[in-house]
Amino acid sequence: KPQVKQTTKAAAIECIFIRDYEIETWYTTPYPEEYNRNKLLYICEFCLKYMSSRYVFHRHQLKCRLFRPPGNEIYRDGKLSVWEIDGRENVIYCQNLCLLAKLFLNSKTLYYDVEPFIFYVLTEREDLPQQSPRFHLVGYFSKEKLNSTDYNLSCILTIPIYQRKGYGQFLMDFSYLLSRREFKWGTPEKPLSDMGLLSYRNYWGVKCAQVLMELKDLSKCDEEEYLQITLEDISNLTGMIPTDVVFGLEQLRVLQQSSNNELPRYVIKIDSWEMIEKEANSWKSRGYQTLNPQKLVWKPMI
Ligand code: ACO
Ligand code: ZN
């Protein structure tokens, strides 16, 4: 959680009530004036409608039979699902999602102009006896439809009650999986928030470690031999642009400037395969749910 809370506005929402949780907010959001006056704002976790009073909220909970995000379920593995939602088709839902995200984001983001974006929403399924399952909102990322840039992710959020459990890594992995299916290299939109940067650095490092382990297993190379690999090769395997691959390799401290003129300018030098292996397995060893690319049912829009 960031240390400083932005308190430029006198009246600001201090907490939101969503699902059964009261969550402290970090920043301000331009909800309509009459809602922004509340210290506590009630939000329906399914349609994301915001409400001023507990009474209205309870009435709404009885009526709202959505139980899941709108859009298409394009991924399901165990309890986790990802839903693809077009900002043009579900304007209100996507606007509400952006307003909610802004409570935890310092930077200026979009709230109302959602049409140029697609939203990928991650949910966790709760099965209930004799009732429809509930798909609880865990986090999301947005992506610009117009893909003239390298950006494969515009804004990412894990709802604070779900943070530090690996869902951010899951969503990042998902964004790169979509890039690979588009036969492209991608990168998140800049600037990153402090938490965004910490998470991405960790992600890039783990991903590079996983690729290095795969290559090691494939080549069965002698520890003394050189392995021929370019940054572009790693980009093709991961969907990450080469600069992000460099960040990942630096994170692992394996990138070295070569002093030998016959070698390329930069070489990957691995002192400890043990460390690489540990990094590569870090999501599994921390019990994070990892992405299973075979479960994605999706084709690029264009
Ligand atoms: N402090 C230190 N390291 C962190 C932190 C943190 N606050 N958050 C993530 N990390 C690193 C850690 O290495 C962590 O592993 P660990 O928990 O085992 O130590 C690793 O990233 C994985 O974290 P996840 O659990 O996968 O990440 P999470 O689900 O918490 O989501 C996210 C990360 C989305 C950035 C979340 O912090 C968030 O929603 N923040 C508020 C919104 C935000 O800042 N979004 C990014 C804006 S930039 C952009 O959108 C392009
Ligand atoms: Zn609702």
Instruction: State the ipTM, two decimals.
Output: 0.97
CA of 28 to the centre of ligand 2 (A): 22
Pocket test for ligand 1, best of 1, 5, 100, 199 (most atoms within 8 A of CB): 199
Q: What number does the ligand 1 atom closest to the CA of 162 have?
A: 29
Weakest-pLDDT range from 25-39, 234-248, 282-296: 25-39
Nearest CA to 176 out of 73, 288, 296, 302 is that of 296
- Tokens representing residue 248 in the block: 């990942």
- Any ligand 1 atom below 6 A from CB of 188: yes
- In this prediction, residue 230 has a pLDDT band, given cuts at 50, 70 and 90, of confident
| Ligand nearest to the Cα of 98, by number | 1
Q: Which of 189, 214, 232, 279 is catalytic?
A: 189
CA of 195 to the centre of ligand 1 (A): 5
| Ligand nearest to the Cα of 142, by number | 1
pLDDT in tens, 75-113: 999 999 999 999 999 999 999 999 999 999 988 777 789
pLDDT in tens, 36-84: 888 999 999 999 999 999 999 999 999 998 899 999 999 999 999 999 9
- Output the pLDDT for position 137: 97
* 224 labelled catalytic: no
Q: Over range 246-253, report the average pLDDT.
A: 95
CATH of domain 15-191: 3.40.630.30
- Any ligand 1 atom below 6 A from CB of 164: yes
- Output the pLDDT for position 217: 80
CA of 60 to the centre of ligand 2 (A): 6
pLDDT in tens, 143-193: 999 878 899 999 999 999 999 999 999 999 999 999 999 999 999 999 999
CA of 90 to the centre of ligand 1 (A): 27
| Ligand nearest to the Cα of 69, by number | 2
CA of 139 to the centre of ligand 2 (A): 17
Q: What's domain 195-285's architecture?
A: Orthogonal Bundle (1.10)
Q: What is the mean pLDDT of the chain?
A: 91
Pocket test for ligand 1, best of 5, 102, 124, 164 (most atoms within 8 A of CB): 164
Residue bearing tokens 């049912």: 297
Q: Whose alpha carbon is nearest atom 13 of ligand 1?
A: 202
- Any ligand 1 atom below 6 A from CB of 27: no
- Any ligand 1 atom below 6 A from CB of 165: yes
- Any ligand 1 atom below 6 A from CB of 202: yes
Domain spans in the chain, listed from the N-terminal domain onward? 15-191, 195-285
Q: Over range 196-204, report the average pLDDT.
A: 97
CA 121, 166, 188 angle in degrees (round to 5)? 60
